[in-house]
Amino acid sequence: MFFNAAAAVVAFTALAASPAHAFWRLSCDRTSLVRERADPIVNPGAKSGHLHVIHGGSNFNLNVTFDSLRASSCTSCQIANDKSNYWTPTLWFQDPKTKQFEPVDGGGILVYYLQRGDNHDQIKSFPAGFRMIAGDMTLRAKKFKEGEGSQGELRERALKWSCLRYTGGQTGYDGYGFPTTQCEAGFQARIHMPNCWDGKNLDSADHRSHVAYMSVLDNGKCPDTHPINFITMFFEQTWDTSKFVSRWNDSRDPWPFVWSHGDNTGYGYHGDFVMGWDVNTLQKAILECNNQTPGTAAGQAEACPHFQMQSADAGKACTIKPHINETTDGTLARLPGCNPIQKGPENATPYNDNNCPL
Ligand X SMILES: *[C@@H]1O[C@H](CO)[C@@H](O)[C@H](O)[C@H]1NC(C)=O
Q: Which residues contact ligand X by CB under 6 A?
A: 44-45, 62-63, 249, 251-252, 325
Of 51, 49, 50, 70, give the one whose Cα is nearest residue 60: 70
> Smallest distance from the beta carbon of 326 to ligand X, in angstroms?
7
Strand partners, 75: 57
| Closer by beta carbon to ligand X, 216 or else 245 | 245
Residue nearest to ligand X (CB): 45
Q: Which amino acid is present at 200?
A: K
DSSP 8-state code for residue 140? -
Residue 86 contacts residue 56 (beta carbons within 8 Å)? yes
Closest to ligand X by CB, 201 or 249: 249
Percent of residues in the chain assigned helix, strand, coil, to nearest 5: 15, 25, 60
CB of 45 to ligand X, least distance (A): 3
CA atoms within 13 A on the CB side of 226: 20
Question: 4 to each of 104, 109, 154, 187, how far by Cα in Å?
Answer: 15, 10, 28, 10
CB nearer ligand X, residue 66 or residue 267:
66
Q: How far is the CB of 63 from ligand X (least distance, A)?
A: 4
Consecutive H or E run containing 24? strand 23-28
Per the rule left: phi > 0, alpha: psi between -120 and 50, beta: everything else, 185 is alpha
Q: How far is the CB of 241 from ligand X (least distance, A)?
A: 17
Residue 171 or 252 with smaller CB distance to ligand X: 252
Pairwise CA distance, residues 281 & 292, whole Å? 18
CB of 72 to ligand X, least distance (A): 17
If the CB atoms of residues 96 and 220 are measured against ligand X, the closer one turns out to be 96
Name the residue nearer to ligand X (CB basis): 105 or 250. Answer: 250
φ, ψ for residue 131 (rounded to 5)?
A: -150, 155
Q: Least Å distance between CB 286 and ligand X?
A: 30
